Amino acid sequence: DAGVIQSPRHEVTEMGQEVTLRCKPISGHDYLFWYRQTMMRGLELLIYFNNNVPIDDSGMPEDRFSAKMPNASFSTLKIQPSEPRDSAVYFCASSLLAGGYTFGSGTRLTVV
Amino acid sequence: AQSVAQPEDQVNVAEGNPLTVKCTYSVSGNPYLFWYVQYPNRGLQFLLKYITGDNLVKGSYGFEAEFNKSQTSFHLKKPSALVSDSALYFCAVRDMRSGNTGKLIFGQGTTLQVKP
Protein backbone atom coordinates (compact mmCIF):
# COMPACT_ATOMS: atom_id res chain seq x y z
CA ASP A 1 0.00 0.00 0.00
CA ALA A 2 1.28 3.47 -0.88
CA GLY A 3 0.04 4.91 2.39
CA VAL A 4 -2.10 8.00 2.76
CA ILE A 5 -1.63 10.19 -0.28
CA GLN A 6 -2.12 13.94 -0.14
CA SER A 7 -2.00 16.47 -2.94
CA PRO A 8 -0.65 18.94 -3.63
CA ARG A 9 2.50 18.87 -1.46
CA HIS A 10 2.81 22.63 -1.62
CA GLU A 11 0.25 25.29 -2.46
CA VAL A 12 0.82 29.01 -2.70
CA THR A 13 -2.25 31.12 -3.34
CA GLU A 14 -3.43 34.67 -3.06
CA MET A 15 -5.79 35.83 -0.38
CA GLY A 16 -9.40 35.41 -1.45
CA GLN A 17 -8.77 32.44 -3.72
CA GLU A 18 -10.33 29.03 -3.25
CA VAL A 19 -8.02 26.24 -2.16
CA THR A 20 -8.77 22.52 -2.38
CA LEU A 21 -6.66 19.93 -0.62
CA ARG A 22 -7.02 16.26 -1.50
CA CYS A 23 -6.52 13.01 0.36
CA LYS A 24 -6.61 9.34 -0.53
CA PRO A 25 -6.74 7.16 2.60
CA ILE A 26 -5.40 3.64 2.98
CA SER A 27 -7.72 1.12 1.43
CA GLY A 28 -9.90 -0.53 4.06
CA HIS A 29 -9.47 2.16 6.69
CA ASP A 30 -12.83 3.40 7.89
CA TYR A 31 -11.74 6.61 9.64
CA LEU A 32 -10.34 9.70 7.97
CA PHE A 33 -9.05 12.78 9.78
CA TRP A 34 -7.99 16.26 8.71
CA TYR A 35 -5.47 18.09 10.90
CA ARG A 36 -3.81 21.48 10.72
CA GLN A 37 -0.37 22.14 12.19
CA THR A 38 1.16 25.52 12.97
CA MET A 39 3.93 26.64 15.26
CA MET A 40 1.53 28.73 17.32
CA ARG A 41 -1.32 26.27 17.78
CA GLY A 42 0.37 22.91 17.29
CA LEU A 43 -1.68 20.03 15.87
CA GLU A 44 -5.39 20.76 15.59
CA LEU A 45 -8.10 18.28 14.56
CA LEU A 46 -10.39 19.95 12.04
CA ILE A 47 -12.86 17.20 11.15
CA TYR A 48 -13.10 13.45 10.98
CA PHE A 49 -15.19 10.92 9.09
CA ASN A 50 -16.28 7.37 9.83
CA ASN A 51 -17.43 5.32 6.86
CA ASN A 52 -17.55 8.53 4.79
CA VAL A 53 -19.88 10.26 7.25
CA PRO A 54 -18.66 13.37 9.10
CA ILE A 55 -18.65 12.61 12.84
CA ASP A 56 -17.13 15.70 14.44
CA ASP A 57 -16.48 18.98 12.65
CA SER A 58 -16.19 21.10 15.77
CA GLY A 59 -12.57 21.89 14.93
CA MET A 60 -13.39 23.54 11.62
CA PRO A 61 -12.45 27.15 12.31
CA GLU A 62 -15.03 28.96 10.21
CA ASP A 63 -17.64 28.57 7.52
CA ARG A 64 -14.87 29.24 5.03
CA PHE A 65 -13.70 25.67 5.66
CA SER A 66 -15.59 22.66 4.33
CA ALA A 67 -14.74 18.98 3.93
CA LYS A 68 -16.29 16.17 1.98
CA MET A 69 -15.79 12.45 1.62
CA PRO A 70 -17.83 11.32 -1.39
CA ASN A 71 -16.48 7.76 -1.21
CA ALA A 72 -14.17 5.57 0.84
CA SER A 73 -11.11 6.43 -1.24
CA PHE A 74 -11.21 10.20 -1.47
CA SER A 75 -11.67 13.29 0.66
CA THR A 76 -11.28 17.02 0.10
CA LEU A 77 -10.77 19.99 2.38
CA LYS A 78 -11.76 23.29 0.83
CA ILE A 79 -11.06 26.82 1.99
CA GLN A 80 -13.06 29.58 0.34
CA PRO A 81 -12.05 32.36 0.50
CA SER A 82 -8.54 31.76 1.80
CA GLU A 83 -6.81 34.16 4.20
CA PRO A 84 -3.15 34.55 5.24
CA ARG A 85 -3.93 33.13 8.70
CA ASP A 86 -4.90 29.85 7.02
CA SER A 87 -1.24 29.29 6.16
CA ALA A 88 -0.24 26.00 7.77
CA VAL A 89 0.57 22.39 7.05
CA TYR A 90 -2.58 20.35 6.58
CA PHE A 91 -2.41 16.63 7.27
CA CYS A 92 -4.78 13.86 6.38
CA ALA A 93 -4.72 10.59 8.34
CA SER A 94 -6.66 7.35 8.18
CA SER A 95 -7.13 4.46 10.57
CA LEU A 96 -9.08 1.45 11.65
CA LEU A 97 -10.91 1.71 14.98
CA ALA A 98 -8.40 -0.17 17.12
CA GLY A 99 -5.28 0.93 15.32
CA GLY A 100 -3.12 3.98 15.19
CA TYR A 101 -3.31 6.61 12.53
CA THR A 102 -1.35 6.62 9.31
CA PHE A 103 -0.58 10.17 8.29
CA GLY A 104 0.01 11.58 4.85
CA SER A 105 3.02 13.76 4.11
CA GLY A 106 0.94 16.90 4.37
CA THR A 107 0.15 19.92 2.23
CA ARG A 108 2.04 23.09 3.04
CA LEU A 109 -0.35 25.95 2.32
CA THR A 110 0.86 29.51 2.02
CA VAL A 111 -1.69 32.27 1.51
CA VAL A 112 -0.16 35.60 0.48
CA ALA B 1 -12.15 14.96 30.58
CA GLN B 2 -9.99 13.06 28.13
CA SER B 3 -6.55 14.63 27.89
CA VAL B 4 -2.86 14.06 27.34
CA ALA B 5 -0.04 16.12 28.80
CA GLN B 6 3.57 16.30 27.72
CA PRO B 7 5.15 18.42 30.43
CA GLU B 8 8.39 19.17 28.58
CA ASP B 9 8.56 21.34 25.48
CA GLN B 10 12.11 20.14 24.82
CA VAL B 11 14.38 17.37 26.00
CA ASN B 12 18.13 17.54 25.43
CA VAL B 13 20.32 14.46 25.69
CA ALA B 14 23.81 13.49 24.61
CA GLU B 15 24.25 10.79 22.01
CA GLY B 16 24.65 7.39 23.61
CA ASN B 17 22.81 8.36 26.77
CA PRO B 18 19.36 7.03 27.66
CA LEU B 19 16.42 9.25 26.87
CA THR B 20 12.95 9.67 28.34
CA VAL B 21 10.10 11.72 26.92
CA LYS B 22 7.28 12.08 29.41
CA CYS B 23 3.55 11.70 28.90
CA THR B 24 0.64 11.58 31.33
CA TYR B 25 -2.98 10.99 30.46
CA SER B 26 -6.47 11.33 31.82
CA VAL B 27 -9.19 9.07 30.42
CA SER B 28 -12.27 7.27 31.55
CA GLY B 29 -11.96 3.53 31.16
CA ASN B 30 -8.96 1.64 29.87
CA PRO B 31 -6.61 3.78 27.83
CA TYR B 32 -5.41 3.14 24.31
CA LEU B 33 -2.08 5.00 24.16
CA PHE B 34 0.19 5.88 21.26
CA TRP B 35 3.49 7.55 20.46
CA TYR B 36 4.25 9.27 17.16
CA VAL B 37 7.38 10.91 15.81
CA GLN B 38 7.58 13.78 13.34
CA TYR B 39 10.77 14.52 11.46
CA PRO B 40 11.17 17.95 9.81
CA ASN B 41 8.89 18.50 6.84
CA ARG B 42 7.27 15.11 7.27
CA GLY B 43 3.99 13.71 8.54
CA LEU B 44 3.66 11.98 11.89
CA GLN B 45 4.90 8.39 11.98
CA PHE B 46 3.57 5.71 14.30
CA LEU B 47 6.14 4.45 16.85
CA LEU B 48 4.22 2.20 19.21
CA LYS B 49 0.95 1.64 21.02
CA TYR B 50 -0.41 0.20 24.24
CA ILE B 51 -3.86 -1.36 24.30
CA THR B 52 -3.56 -4.20 26.77
CA GLY B 53 -1.05 -6.71 28.05
CA ASP B 54 2.59 -6.19 29.02
CA ASN B 55 3.22 -2.75 30.49
CA LEU B 56 6.46 -2.41 28.54
CA VAL B 57 5.75 -1.89 24.86
CA LYS B 58 8.46 -2.10 22.23
CA GLY B 59 8.23 -0.11 19.02
CA SER B 60 10.12 1.11 16.01
CA TYR B 61 13.74 2.38 15.93
CA GLY B 62 14.59 0.86 19.33
CA PHE B 63 12.01 2.90 21.25
CA GLU B 64 9.91 1.51 24.05
CA ALA B 65 7.29 2.90 26.38
CA GLU B 66 6.20 1.95 29.84
CA PHE B 67 2.54 2.04 30.80
CA ASN B 68 2.03 2.89 34.47
CA LYS B 69 -1.60 2.79 35.49
CA SER B 70 -1.13 4.11 39.03
CA GLN B 71 0.77 7.15 37.78
CA THR B 72 -1.35 7.47 34.61
CA SER B 73 1.85 7.76 32.62
CA PHE B 74 3.17 6.40 29.34
CA HIS B 75 6.75 7.62 29.07
CA LEU B 76 8.77 6.99 25.92
CA LYS B 77 12.27 5.62 26.41
CA LYS B 78 15.35 4.53 24.53
CA PRO B 79 18.47 3.05 26.14
CA SER B 80 20.95 4.82 23.86
CA ALA B 81 20.03 7.95 21.93
CA LEU B 82 21.16 8.68 18.38
CA VAL B 83 21.55 12.08 16.75
CA SER B 84 19.04 10.87 14.15
CA ASP B 85 16.42 10.51 16.91
CA SER B 86 16.19 14.31 17.04
CA ALA B 87 12.58 15.08 16.13
CA LEU B 88 9.20 16.12 17.52
CA TYR B 89 7.42 13.44 19.56
CA PHE B 90 3.70 13.26 20.23
CA CYS B 91 1.87 11.19 22.80
CA ALA B 92 -1.79 10.40 22.09
CA VAL B 93 -4.74 8.64 23.70
CA ARG B 94 -7.80 7.33 21.93
CA ASP B 95 -10.98 9.10 22.94
CA MET B 96 -13.24 6.29 24.09
CA ARG B 97 -16.25 8.40 24.91
CA SER B 98 -19.40 7.32 23.17
CA GLY B 99 -19.51 8.71 19.66
CA ASN B 100 -15.83 9.59 19.65
CA THR B 101 -14.13 6.20 19.72
CA GLY B 102 -12.20 6.82 16.52
CA LYS B 103 -10.46 10.00 17.58
CA LEU B 104 -6.97 10.35 19.03
CA ILE B 105 -6.25 13.18 21.44
CA PHE B 106 -2.69 14.41 20.96
CA GLY B 107 -0.36 16.08 23.41
CA GLN B 108 1.37 19.32 22.46
CA GLY B 109 4.55 17.54 21.44
CA THR B 110 8.08 17.39 22.85
CA THR B 111 11.13 18.31 20.80
CA LEU B 112 13.96 15.87 21.36
CA GLN B 113 17.43 17.21 20.66
CA VAL B 114 20.25 14.66 20.69
CA LYS B 115 23.71 16.23 20.61
CA PRO B 116 26.84 14.44 19.38
pLDDT tens track, chain A, 112 positions: 679 999 999 999 999 999 999 999 999 999 999 999 998 888 999 999 999 999 999 999 889 999 999 999 999 999 999 999 999 999 999 998 767 789 999 999 999 9
Q: Percent of chain B beyond pLDDT 70?
A: 94
Which residue from A4, A43, A95 is facing B106, i.e. has the nearest CB? A43
- Asked if the model's pLDDT at residue B21 lies above 90, the reply is yes
Contact criterion met (CB < 8 Å) for A93 and B44: yes
Q: Residue B67 — φ and ψ, nearest 5°?
A: -85, 125
- All residues of chain A having their beta carbon less than 8 Å from the beta carbon of residue B30 are none
> Which residue, A94, A92, A93, is CA-closest to A8?
A92
> Which residue, B75, B103, B67, B112, is CA-closest to B91?
B75
Distance of alpha carbon A90 from alpha carbon B1, whole angstroms? 26
Closest chain A residue to the Cα of B9, Cα to Cα: A42
Which residue from A42, A97, A105 is facing B102, i.e. has the nearest CB? A97
What pLDDT is stored for residue B100 in this prediction?
62
